[in-house]
Amino acid sequence: MPPQLKHNLGAYIVVSSGHVDTGRYRFDYPQSWQLVKQSAANAKQLHLILIAANGSKVSLLDVDSDGAETDRIIPLAAGSFVQVTIDPTDDNDAVFAEQVEQLVDSIRS
């Protein structure tokens, strides 16, 4: 293993063919979407943004409580949660809505 990979900050994230493993949770997403990591390598909370082909976005944020009222909260093992925020470019995009449901249903510890 190259030295720069032995001494990196923060947890690793494995991304492969529409699948992500963050170490705390895993999920599947459409391969046509882009995945953008928003948080710093050593941040306490992992923040990921998924961008659909039409520009709509889904945000996944590690949180320690289920207290958010406006977003979906997915419970994980060990009392942690993933906050899911959906930002569609078109509220009537049935394809995006279905893809989001599949993504949310795939989130697991």
Q: Are 94 and 105 in contact (CB under 8 A)?
A: no
Residue 76's contacts (CB-CB under 8 Å, 6 or more residues apart) are: 24, 25, 82, 109
- Phi, psi for residue 37 in degrees, rounded to 5: -90, 125
The per-residue pLDDT for range 56-81, each reduced to its tens digit, is: 999 999 888 766 566 789 999 878 89
pTM: 0.84
Q: Are 82 and 63 in contact (CB under 8 A)?
A: yes
In this structure, what DSSP letter does residue 34 have?
A: E
The per-residue pLDDT for range 8-39, each reduced to its tens digit, is: 665 678 899 899 999 889 999 999 999 998 87
The domains of the chain are located at 3-106
